[in-house]
């Protein structure tokens, strides 16, 4: 299989998986209690959206440190989402195993991509 460079952030597997995660989070949080609309629902969705948004923003950055910084921000949002999913589970707002699995995949992909960006020759 030929390794074709991505022309757009939309070509990146990690962005596609992160976008899938966002869509899944929106569905998952749709039925949280109404009092959570400005609390956990809002926080979880914002953190989730931050992941593919930062991947997209970092994609066009020219320098490796800039790219790595945006990937690091995305990874921070991954961990924020990880906590919110733990909280939602503890509050018994529903099973989030699908979201957790997607989040783990996204985290691994971001880590691998970051490593390759930082170790690539200029």
* Complete domains list, the chain, with CATH: 10-119 (1.20.1440.60)
From residue 58, how far is each of 30, 34, 49, 63, 92 by CA, in Å? Answer: 29, 35, 14, 10, 36
Residue 2 has pLDDT above 70, yes or no: no
Q: How confident is the model at residue 117 (pLDDT cuts 50, 70, 90)?
A: confident
Q: Is 6 helix (H, G, I), strand (E, B) or coil?
A: coil
Q: How confident is the model at residue 4 (pLDDT cuts 50, 70, 90)?
A: low
Residue 58 has pLDDT above 60, yes or no: yes
The percent of residues in the chain predicted with pLDDT above 90, rounded, is 87
Residue 30 has pLDDT above 70, yes or no: yes
Q: Is 39 helix (H, G, I), strand (E, B) or coil?
A: coil
**What pTM did the predictor assign?**
0.92
At 119 the pLDDT is 86
Torsion of CA 96, 90, 33, 106, to 10 degrees: -30
Residue 122 has pLDDT above 60, yes or no: no
Token pair for 36: 């959570």
- In contact, 50 and 74? CB cutoff 8 Å: yes
Cα separation, 107 vs 60, in Å, equals 20
């Amino acid at each position: 299989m030929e390794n074709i460079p991505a022309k757009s952030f939309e070509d990146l597997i990690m962005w596609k998986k992160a976008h899938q995660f966002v869509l899944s989070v929106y569905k998952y949080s749709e039925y949280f209690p109404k009092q959570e609309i400005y609390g956990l629902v809002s926080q979880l969705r914002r953190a989730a959206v931050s992941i593919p948004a930062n991947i997209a923003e970092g994609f066009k950055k020219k320098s490796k440190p800039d790219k790595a910084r945006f990937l690091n921000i995305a990874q921070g949002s991954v961990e924020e989402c990880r906590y919110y999913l733990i909280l939602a589970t503890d509050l018994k707002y529903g099973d989030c195993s699908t979201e957790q699995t997607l989040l783990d995949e996204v985290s691994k992909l971001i880590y691998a991509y970051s490593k390759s960006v930082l170790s690539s020759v200029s």
